[in-house]
Chain A
Amino acid sequence: MSPQTPAPATGGSGRGRPRVGPLAARRSTAPVLDVDALIDDPATGIVVCCGSGGVGKTTTSAALALRAAERGRKVVVLTIDPARRLAQSMGIEQLDNTPRPVAGVAGDGGLDAMMLDMKSTFDEVVLSQASPEKAQQILGNPFYVALSTSFAGTQEYMAMEKLGQIHAAAQADGTYDLIVVDTPPSRSALDFLDAPERLSSFLDGRFIRLMLAPARGPARLMSAGLGLVTSTLTRVLGAQILTDLQTFVAALDTVFGGFRARAQQTYALLQAPGTAFLVVAAPEPDALREAAYFVERLTGDAMPLAGLVVNRASPEPPGRLSADEAMATAGRLRASDPTTPTTELTAGLLRLHADQVRMTVREALLRERFAAAHPGVATAVVPALASDVHDLDGLRRVGDLLAGVVPSDDA
């Protein structure tokens, strides 16, 4: 099978033959994602937006949360790293790990927003699980500092931890009926879904157990090997590190069971029917590949997938002028004699049009392939806005687009 060339334009399109161009391209067969139905459904309690970095996840989460709030829900949105001006407009400039009300939300619902502070979330868990003495020992250990700030997956795990906390509180006192979660820009989809599992399997790992009880039980059988291991580590890293590590592991052992139980709870919460996952992507091969991976993982792990959001789609160019025809016309105009004062402009407009046709054709093809490989995944296509989003009005516009509301012309 040879790859399709985008926009194969024929020279004879003016002579009654079927047009070959953007409008003739086969449309993606994906069903349309009904965003309003999703956020209006009182059964939807949690919406998790996931996807690779740089696809507009934070904006999508915020826009969705605002839209739900203005349609009457009591919403809290957990964001990870919003753009500064967007954070300002939502009143969450500080990282204090507490949801703050967002001013300027219309309607009877409400919107709180929170920016996740990974380290203090982790600290809170330790403080709540260990005795004060033990907790201090853990918090000061260099390995803990590293684990709580740079362990791949910690941020993901903490986002889920915070989600669990807020969900439990909301269940208890009815503060919120919808939680929207923005996930960290993971290196890969794995980081996010596997974080709880990785953290607990790490804490449960053979190495950790060996460090805890080097001379006990079956470990004695391996003690020759272990001696080799510890002496190697000492050689490579130095004795101090090994001591720190042992202290760390011993201390963490106290909170260990707690971690595992919580990770499992969070995982179960994600699988529960009130949760909806939205996979966010951009119409680029890499982003869609990541999205495909997410979709497969979510399905494989029996996580409730609500649909795919394709952000930053190039706006559909108007009319039936193919890219090649537009370029040819631009060429003819530039070569024509005499030229008019607007010739250059018109040629420029044609070139812009051609560019846009090529991009939409390519994007439609990418989406179509995604739909072919993952049939039945409801999709919302959000056209790129001409300007950046950094206030509630901008978020409302994105919300409209998410819900498929066509903006008025001079918005």
Chain B
Amino acid sequence: MPPEEPGAPGRPTPDWPGVRLHVVTGKGGTGKSTVAASLALSLASHGRNVLLCEVEGRQGIARMFDVDPLPYAERRIAQGLRESADRTPGLVHALHIDPESALLEYLAMYYKLGRAGRALDRFGVIEFATTIAPGVRDVLLTGKVFEAVERNARNKGALTYDAVVLDAPPTGRISQFMGVSDELAGLAKVGPVKSQSDTMMRLFRSKRTAIHLVTVLEEMPVQETHDGIEELRREGLPVGGVVVNAVRPRDIGDADLERARAHALDRAAITADLRRGGVALEGEDGGPLVDGLLRTAHDHAERRALEEAQRALVAGFGVPVYELPRLAGGVDLGGLYELAAALREQGMA
């Protein structure tokens, strides 16, 4: 276990102190890879070392951090979020796990299968095992993650991590992904695979794992998050927090939002304000620019009302909720640090 870090002044104690494995899932398109990367950066402040894993073969980490495509090896990709000038942040390493490499490594590690491993490849068994054999693909991917979490100082020369963040498959597949060991173990009723997957399940079901769900404040993703949480609970997998991503800016007050929805904003006053601020406007009523601002306000108010309804639903899930702002300029490395800081402020890391 890493030493308990002293709480820095002015920020809450982290919500997941004993968690070594943070699994990040979410509906496609909600930004789970972005959240996983930001979480890794924020966990890596205070000199803690973090491993960020991806398993879907998309090389998303390499793109986000603007580095060359990652091999099946742990690469240092960034420094953690710097919290204050006098504290050195830890490092974030990244690992791109593909099932073929994981299987060969697994066979070599546990069965000393150098030659046989290659023979398996020649006979198409590797391809078979990693594409069709029930759950084998998933168990290989999670197996490598498990190994990284459980690694300790006894493994000479290997890097050890205080936390591992897994950019996991989407919500629809997550409990199958995390629980496949059960499916596999059910199939392999005895034997080494069974005992290995049992050990993995012990970690995944324990308090040292948290499965976080990423959503945006829209109906379908929120519904899917709800269903996902229920399913994880049913399967006995530890639900972490919900990260609400891409939250719209909230700089218009509630009363004004109401008026905007009712098309009842004070046009004359707004036009006068704009003129006072030095904006050149056409005509008495401010012309097309003011038309547009009012229309934008109306659409924004509609969206915000929907968001509020979804926000209330999310609040009812009974898990910690974190919110991340929508970055109008898109997500780049700087944006990731910005999001990491927001997660840290809200106590996720």
Contact = CB atoms under 8 A, between A and B. Distances in A.
Interface of A: 6, 14, 52-55, 81, 83-85, 142-143, 145-147, 150-152, 185, 187-188, 198, 202, 205-208, 210, 222, 225-226, 228-229, 232-233, 235-238, 240-241, 244-245, 282, 284-287, 315, 317-321, 325, 329-330, 332-333, 336, 340-356, 358-359, 362, 386-388, 390, 409-410
A151 B132 CA distance: 5
Nearest to B280: A14
Interface in B110-143: 111, 113, 115-116, 119-120, 122-125, 127-128, 131-135, 137
Nearest to A320: B289
Nearest to B180: A150
A202 B120 contact: no
Interface residues of B, number: 81
Contacts of B306: 387-388
Contacts of A54: 27-30, 221
A236 B296 contact: no
Contact of A352 (B58, B128, B297): B297
Contact of A346 (B115, B135, B270, B302): B270
Scoring B277, B298, B306 by chain A CB atoms within 10 A of each residue's CB, the highest score goes to B277
Contacts of A362: 328-330
A236 B265 contact: no
B277 A332 contact: yes
Contacts of B293: 318-319, 349-350, 352-353
Contacts of A340: 269, 272-273, 276
A351 B132 contact: no
Given A238-B191, A346-B273, A321 B279 contact: yes
B124 A207 contact: yes
Interface in B141-155: none
Residue of B125, B170, B221 most packed against chain A (CB within 10 A): B125
A229 B123 contact: yes
B192 interface: yes
Nearest to A236: B193
Contacts of A347: 251
B283 interface: no
A185 B219 contact: no
A241 B192 CA distance: 13
Contacts of A330: 277
B302 to A, nearest CB: 4
B331 to A, nearest CB: 9
Contacts of B127: 202, 205, 207
Contacts of A85: 219
A321 B132 contact: no
Given A286-B60, A329-B277, 12 more contacts: A54-B28, A146-B183, A151-B132, A207-B125, A232-B111, A236-B193, A237-B191, A342-B273, A346-B277, A350-B274, A351-B249, A359-B328
A244 B182 CA distance: 18
A68 B18 CA distance: 56
A368 to B, nearest CB: 15
A13 B298 CA distance: 28
A229 B125 CA distance: 8
Given A238-B193, A352-B297, A387-B306, A225 B273 contact: no
B112 to A, nearest CB: 11
B288 A319 contact: yes
B274 A329 contact: yes
A225 B302 contact: no
A214 to B, nearest CB: 11
B251 A318 contact: no
Nearest to A339: B273
Contact of B132 (A14, A147, A210, A387): A147
A336 B276 contact: yes
In the complex, the 4 A-B pairs of residues with the closest C-beta atoms, listed nearest first: A54-B29, A318-B292, A53-B28, A146-B134
Contact of A52 (B28, B133, B328): B28
A241 B288 contact: no
B256 interface: yes
Interface in B289-347: 289, 291-293, 295-300, 302-303, 306, 328-330
A332 B53 CA distance: 46
A169 B337 CA distance: 56
A319 B131 contact: no
Nearest to A346: B273
B56 interface: yes
Interface in B137-193: 137, 169-170, 172, 176, 183, 187-193
Interface string B242-286: 000000010111001000000101100110111011111000000
B134 A150 contact: yes
A222 B119 CA distance: 10
Nearest to A145: B134
16 contacts: A6-B329, A152-B137, A202-B131, A232-B111, A233-B125, A238-B189, A318-B288, A318-B296, A319-B293, A329-B278, A342-B269, A345-B265, A348-B256, A352-B296, A353-B296, A390-B219
A315 B249 contact: no
Contact of B276 (A52, A238, A333): A333
Nearest to B128: A207
A386 B219 contact: no
A187 to B, nearest CB: 6
A342 B273 CA distance: 8
B135 A55 contact: no
B116 A229 contact: yes
Nearest to A344: B253
B215 to A, nearest CB: 11
